[in-house]
Amino acid sequence: MAYTDLADLVRALERSGELVRVKAPVDPDLEVTGIVQRVVRDRGPALLFENPTRGRMPLLMNLFGTTSRMCRALGVSDLDEIGDRIAGLLKPELPQGFGGFREALGKAAQLRNAPPRHGKRARCQEVVLRGEDVDLDLLPGVRSWPGDGGVFLNLGLTHTKHPETGARNLGMYRLQQQDRRTVSLHWQIHKDSTSHAAIAERRGDRLPVAIAFGCPPAVTYAASAPLPADIDEYLFAGFLQRERVELVDCLTVPLQVPANAQVVLEGWVEPGARLPEGPFGDHTGFYTPVEPFPYMHVDVMTTREKPIYQSIVVGRPPQEDGPLGKATERIFRPLIRLTIPEIVDYDLPEAGVFHNCAIVSIHKRFPKHAHKVMNAIWGAGLLSLSKLIVVVDADCDVHDYNEVAWRAFGNVDYAHDVVHMTGPVDHLDHSSYEQFYGGKLGIDATAKLPTEGYRREGGWPEACVLDQSTVELVQRRWREYGIS
């Protein structure tokens, strides 16, 4: 089972030696980043800074910094286990016999445990600060990079709802602390909260907002997941952790937050209100410029009696958000294959910050099949923001970058096998000459068919590999060769 309380996971990691308590005073202004950078690159432990020089609560960093800890937080031994559960739910077959009926009931039970429920105990509201008592400086907010425009409260989960339908949205957006009671909301153009704010503004209404820190790990992950707008993140989080998420009503806004959160901010966004936000060293590894964004005036701040403030450093890969992105890649694989069934597997390289490059393997069946897949990906949710797509044959391991490079470098005639187009790109993309759209490239690195125009005598050549009998012979006799 996944951990439904962040504090429980912290204790479990400490018992297993995967968390280190840093007792020395450490400055959240740049010094924390310097420490976290070294630990992340060494695939080191989670860090609990017990005496940060800003704020009045411990600072938790690098919780998701390795794939193994990401798995542990979600209660699995391998991230593909979650994808397999989703794939099982998507199977349309009718149950056959008693065994099939029992399996169908098991699937129904998974969904029955998914919807959130109203909690009886609001641990996140044990301490309540109102009005002038609200002070964001109580949080050990981090300034990660020298050029950052100030302190950013990263890893806060932002709650809004559609002003007309009431549909809830939970998202993970960067949050700049402007003063003791004001937080800027970096709502990018492609995000659902941007839509909620635009509708409220058109109606002349203010928008209620709640921001929760230190939530159950499955909830934190769900906030980052690229779910369709009509899929409730708390339903998804309940599915992930196999237990319904407990929610409690906020004190001053018509929203609900996790009862087990560590810290919650409540407030409103006034229509048309903007403040300059940024610069910020983002996950691309570059500073994003100052832009006007909505901001939230915090009316109420609630916490546990002994809260932990969880945050994250983002920047040039590798960073802690790498395993979060890899979780999305593996968990959403069945949904991608449901939309594009010829896909065998795919990889979103961390160095490509998960939207600059997608490597896809396919079962190729007809001429220009790879081109069809490229266009399908460029129309698939947030995968539409992919700038580079490399398509390889089914026998290629998309996670072996040497294998992929060998095919992409050697299997491509760049006069015939490349698709170049213009389309939407990520809000944070710095390389596009115009914001929000730019060039995209698709590379067909599959073996080419005569019907695609490959007319050379003998057809596509066969790759030179050893026969299986020789491989098995060497394996049997390896010790006889005396090679260490």
Q: Which residues are catalytic, by number?
A: 282
Residues 6+ apart with CB under 8 A from 454: 448, 460
Instruction: Give the closest residue to 374 by CA, choosing from 444, 274, 278, 435.
Output: 444
> What is d(CA 80, CA 48) in angstroms, rounded to the nearest whole number?
29
CA angle 62, 137, 151 (to 5 degrees): 55
Which residue carries 């708390």 as its tokens? Answer: 234
The alpha carbons of the chain give a radius of gyration, in whole angstroms, of 25
Answer positive or negative: Cα dihedral of 67, 214, 222, 294. negative
- Encoding tokens for residue 226? 């690229």
Cis before 318 (ω within 30): yes
The DSSP secondary structure of 199-228, one letter per residue, reads HHHHHT--EEEEEEES--HHHHHHHHS---
Query: Which residue spans within 214-284 are E strands per DSSP?
Result: 246-249, 256-258, 263-269, 275-277, 280-281
> What is d(CA 404, CA 62) in angstroms, rounded to the nearest whole number?
30
Residues 6+ apart with CB under 8 A from 79: 67, 70, 71, 326, 327, 330, 331
First to last CA, the chain: 43
Which residue carries 């590999």 as its tokens? Answer: 465
Q: Which residues are registered as beta bridge partners of 293?
A: 275
- Encoding tokens for residue 477? 């006799």
Residues 6+ apart with CB under 8 A from 110: 85, 89, 239, 242
Q: Hey, what amino acid is at 114?
A: A
201 and 228 in contact (C-beta within 8 Å)?
no
Chain centre to alpha carbon of residue 104: 30
123 and 257 in contact (C-beta within 8 Å)?
no
